[in-house]
Structure 1
Amino acid sequence: MPVGRASTLLVLPCVVASCGIAGAQDSAPTTGAIATTADATAPTMMLASVTLNGRLLPGDYLLARHAGTFLVRVKDLAAWRMRPPTSTAMMIDGDAFVALSGLGGVAAAFDEPNQALLLTVSPEAFEATSVAPASTVAAPSDNMLAAFLNYDISAEYAGKARLGAFVEAGLSDDWGVVSNSMLLGNGTVYGRATRLDSYYLRDDPINLTRLVIGDGVTDARDWTRQIRFGGVRFGTEFALQPSLLTFPTPSLAGSAAVPSNVELLVNGTQRFQTDVGQGPFSINQVPLVTGAGQVTLVIRDPLGVERRVTSSYYVSSHLLRAGLASWSMEAGAERRGYGLRSFGYDNPFLAGTYRRGLTDR
């Protein structure tokens, strides 16, 4: 395989302004047809350094010169995160090569004294990347047997002394929590003691579910109201993972000609920061504040040059993002005279709710 140095400065006819760019959805590797060189006009092979958008890539790369143009290996294009070629590939010594002049959004020149290939590639010619803030599900730590007592005491005198107290006591371990609360003292309705809530509760932070046996409240949506009842409730509890985004958020997109740092500001406060490679990128599941606000995307290249893109947004926590489901099942009897009577249950019922996000729109 003859290896030599190029003897001329060659500027390929493909320029960024005139070459077609494949759409972001064309991500499947395609090399088109493959031709094999076995004639007398075999390509000239050479080793050269490659500079991509002003950044010197590590190592040397095998290039081919054939019919007045330069060819690079398809696997090198993949390593540079450039979109796969749609033009015909040429097989040379078992490697697939493609002509740079057939790539869209690429301008190339060869620096003969430094044996270097200089590439200027538009951001749209790179593979798109998608990043999102980390949203890990925290596993519960090992529990130990514990007991707790909460109390709130009040006293007043208006011709007669009145003393009252709210008391809550409970016990917890790996199996869950048992709790009971009541009102005590002559300040209560009956002058002695009134039971409030008695229940057994078990949470599953991994599956985001909660089981309650005893006194509780029903799961209520915007079109209905919650009621106190005694019975069983089992359903979704998103509060077990506070970092989980349950509502749809806008996806922010941008592009960078060289590897850059991206900073996300929400209402002037930094909420997320990451590094992205060259090419188009998008940030999904942005941690935004519910309601209306402004989001600013700051793109900063290695030289410190930055671009800022600001736009307005509106998100609602009442919606569910696509694919996320929320459900609840309750069975029992409605609680009557809560805070006035220790036991008062009536109107048996069975209820259930189910919600699922179909699209983020």
Structure 2
Amino acid sequence: MPLYLAVSINGRATGQIAHFFLHTASNRLSASRRTLRSLGLRLPLLLEGEVYLDQLPGIRAHYDADAQSLALTATDKALAPVVISAAPHYALPTPDRSVGAVLNYSLSAGFSWGKTIGNPGLTDVTGALNGWVYSPVGTLRSSGYIQSGALHPNGGHFTRLDTAYQFDLPKPAVSVTVGDFFTTALSWGRSIRMGGIQIRRDFALNENLLPQQLFAFSGAAAVPSTVDVFIANNRAFSTQVAPGPFELEDIAFPSGTGSAVIQVHGANRKVTSHRVSFFAARDLIKRGLLDFAFEAGHPREGYGIESNVYAGKLAYSTTLRYGLTDRITLQGHLEGEPGLHMFGLGLTATPFNLAETTFVMGASRYQGRTSSFAYGTLRTIVHGATVNMSILHSQNGFADLAYATGVDYLGTAAVAGSQSLLEFPRSQELIGVTFPAGREQRNVGVSLIHARRANSDDLIVAASYSRSLGWHDSSLDFYGSRDLNTRHSTLSLRVSIPLGDRSYSSVGVQQQDGAAIGPTAYVMRPISERVGDYGYSAQVERWAGGTQVIGGARYRSRYGKLGVDFSHFGGNSYLRPSLDGSIVLAGGRLAAGNTIHDSFALVDVGVAGVPIALQNRVVTQTGRFGMALVTGLTSNHPNRLSFNVKNLPEGATASATASTVVPASHSGMFVDLKADTRPSALVNLHDRTGQVLPLGAAVSLNGNSTPFSVGYDGETWLVGLKTQNSLRVTWPGGTCSASFAYHTRTTFQSDIDNIECH
């Protein structure tokens, strides 16, 4: 017999009317798994279909036929925990998907002259282009370059690099690409370029999906309680919990290792404390989260040299990661093409919160030969020292797509007879230790690296030391390395000294393979994204062959970044001026500006020389036609664009001074903040008796069909004034007319008083 019952658990009403079935023959109650889960009960995996309540461990049920209610008594283990996230939840805005186009360009020319240069002068002209068309159905992009000159006798033709169509789904954080792309690889694998289709997770599209596993804690409260989480003696999170099991997640904690104290303050004033250790993992993903990439297509060949060369074979690649628990993430990878199939399976874990470890095993079958590989890593912190270890071993004949596609393009002999990195490493071991030395801001690092391929075998030892000099963030850095097999060595010693907030300099010495010690000096000021900013760099190195001088300068204008690079060595000099910028089409309008990396906005104020702010930080100003191209917007997130009304000319009126936009990935928006620069003034109107005109009366200026409204105390803001003006004012039960003169002045005529309307 079907029943609909009001359910309570442990004496607390759930507020739900749930569907149950009463088996009259046995006097037993049952419900579907879905119903029981919605009530917050934990169900055994082996129970399927309709579940009898007396089958649930830790559950007792009392059915009241008269009240049509069901009272459940449940232990904490029988209840599913209430999950509480410490991460803020954002209302995901819907991206504005408009239509437009972007063309980034980078133009440069090379010049050379000197002792050994036979034909001084222009050597080459290079132009790199990267453009895309965006629309509500996605983005179509393409890139390439053209280069010509004396050094490129066969140049002058355009070489295509990448072309792809991309569409993003922000809510599930999925991106679809059709065209050219990089395949996805895990830490032990290698990517290749492919032309085909790619479907992958992109967690940057949805900030509510936190991919990394942060601190989590599970507990139970006997009464309504407050739970506080303390990390490094600071309260990291606080929340209210109801009686029963609970689970806290997404609590941010510092990198490294440590412990957290969780205090449960009950309504009965009882306080329970728990101390839990944690280890900041890098490769764990959140429990229950799936990260994936599915790719299929034809491998790209001759990239950067040929425009449209793809392998004839169809290749595939699949990568999966799944957060099994708070401390275990499973991973798997599968790739191949005709003649090659390769896979790897493994996991990443933080055993006992003492270290982060990864272990992977896999195999490949290539050209009829089966070979295997194993990979492992360990990262831990012991008494302040960070220890990193990794090991990779593969059998002869092991191959992946990077190697197989290289052989398809170059041939086996070309790959085997060179020092190519296309071959998968036969063995690769690394151990590195970094630890503080004495007082703060002193660090020592030592490492040992062994890498063996078919045609190379390197065993490198390295050491480093860095410390603060205690004066304006100046520092001392030392690095040395030696390959015990090839006898190649490197030594360097450098002192870095800041020069103001953004500039810094360094002086030092370096030596390679026992050659004479070469002094170096370097000064640099990086350029920012702000229009009007500049940057520079200069470096002088002294070697046995002479002195090398390298320098450059950059200036960012509204229309692009101007640059020049210079170098001189061995009596020869080289000069390369450059211009980087973009041309965009948005809202039916063309504009030029700086290079666009993601999203942008074209802001129309209608007045020249007005500073424009992005997220309350001034980044550019309007040009001659009153528009400004604002780069650096964050796609799929709110971006606030604004200007200060004080920067408008006297008499100008702004209906809006700010707008918040949410552009889609690699798209642009036209933002209309156009100010009205027509003459305007505040006019005070009254009738023949001196009484102000009624509030809300309609005012027609110079016969204009668009009326203004009378405000409080007869004050009316009028826009579009002339030297001589006429008004007609109407209101329910009355009408009147007035005229007055307006004189254009260099200073703002703020108001006009005592205009009589009769």
* TM-score normalised according to structure 2 size: 0.29
* 2:86 matches 1:141: no
Structure 2: where are the runs of 5+ without partners?
A: 1-7, 15-57, 114-120, 329-758
The code of the aligned residue for 1:197 comes to: D
Q: What are the Cα deviations for residues 258-297 of structure 1, in whole angstroms up to 9, with x where unaligned?
A: 644445466778765432235553213x255797444535
Q: Counterparts in 2 of 1:7-26, with a 5 A limit?
A: none
Q: What are the Cα deviations for residues 139-168 of structure 1, in whole angstroms up to 9, with x where unaligned?
A: 642411121122333444322334433221
- Do the aligned partners of 2:183 and 2:317 also contact (CA within 8 Å) in 1? no
Q: Counterparts in 2 of 1:1-361, with a 5 A limit?
A: 77-78=11-12, 129-133=82-86, 138=92, 140-159=94-113, 160-161=121-122, 162-186=124-148, 190-246=155-211, 248=213, 251-254=216-219, 259-264=224-229, 272-278=237-243, 280-284=245-249, 286-288=250-252, 292-294=256-258, 296-299=260-263, 301=265, 309=275, 311-317=277-283, 321-322=287-288, 324=290, 326-336=292-302, 338-355=303-320, 357=322, 359-360=324-325, 361=328
Provide the secondary structure at the position in 2 that maps to 1:315: coil
Higher relative contact order (CA 8 A, sep 6+): 1
Q: What are the Cα deviations for residues 203-233 of structure 1, in whole angstroms up to 9, with x where unaligned?
A: 2223433322222222223343111122333
Q: What are the Cα deviations for residues 98-153 of structure 1, in whole angstroms up to 9, with x where unaligned?
A: 9xxxx9xxxxxxxxxxxxxxxxxxx99x9964322466783642411121122333
Whole-Å separation in 2 of the counterparts to 1:86 and 1:198: 60
Structure 1: where are the runs of 5+ without partners?
A: 1-73, 104-122
The code of the aligned residue for 1:131 comes to: I
Whole-Å separation in 2 of the counterparts to 1:215 and 1:264: 47
- Measured after TM superposition, the shift of residue 235 of structure 1 is 3.8
Whole-Å separation in 1 of the counterparts to 2:201 and 2:60: 52
Whole-Å separation in 2 of the counterparts to 1:165 and 1:271: 52
- Do the aligned partners of 1:208 and 1:240 also contact (CA within 8 Å) in 2? yes
The code of the aligned residue for 2:130 comes to: E
- Do the aligned partners of 1:236 and 1:328 also contact (CA within 8 Å) in 2? no
Provide the secondary structure at the position in 1 that maps to 2:314: strand
Larger Rg: 2
Distance 1:310 1:152, change over 3 A: farther
Distance 1:140 1:75, change over 3 A: closer
Between the aligned residues of both structures, percent identity stands at 23
Whole-Å separation in 2 of the counterparts to 1:334 and 1:86: 61
Q: What are the Cα deviations for residues 63-116 of structure 1, in whole angstroms up to 9, with x where unaligned?
A: xxxxxxxxxxx8883259xxxx98998x9x9799x9xxxx9xxxxxxxxxxxxx
- Do the aligned partners of 1:151 and 1:165 also contact (CA within 8 Å) in 2? yes
Q: Comparing both structures, which one devotes a greater share of its residues to strand?
A: 2
- Do the aligned partners of 1:253 and 1:281 also contact (CA within 8 Å) in 2? yes
Distance 1:151 1:306, change over 3 A: farther
Whole-Å separation in 2 of the counterparts to 1:163 and 1:269: 59
Match of 1:35 in 2: none
* TM-score normalised according to structure 1 size: 0.55
- Do the aligned partners of 1:195 and 1:342 also contact (CA within 8 Å) in 2? yes
Q: What are the Cα deviations for residues 299-325 of structure 1, in whole angstroms up to 9, with x where unaligned?
A: 47589x896745222434355744625
Q: Aligned-residue CA RMSD in angstroms?
A: 5.0
Whole-Å separation in 1 of the counterparts to 2:274 and 2:323: 33
The code of the aligned residue for 2:171 comes to: I
Match of 2:424 in 1: none
Distance 1:139 1:186, change over 3 A: same
Provide the secondary structure at the position in 2 that maps to 1:329: strand
Whole-Å separation in 2 of the counterparts to 1:198 and 1:228: 12
The code of the aligned residue for 2:309 comes to: G
- Measured after TM superposition, the shift of residue 328 of structure 1 is 0.4
Distance 1:183 1:297, change over 3 A: farther
Distance 1:95 1:170, change over 3 A: closer
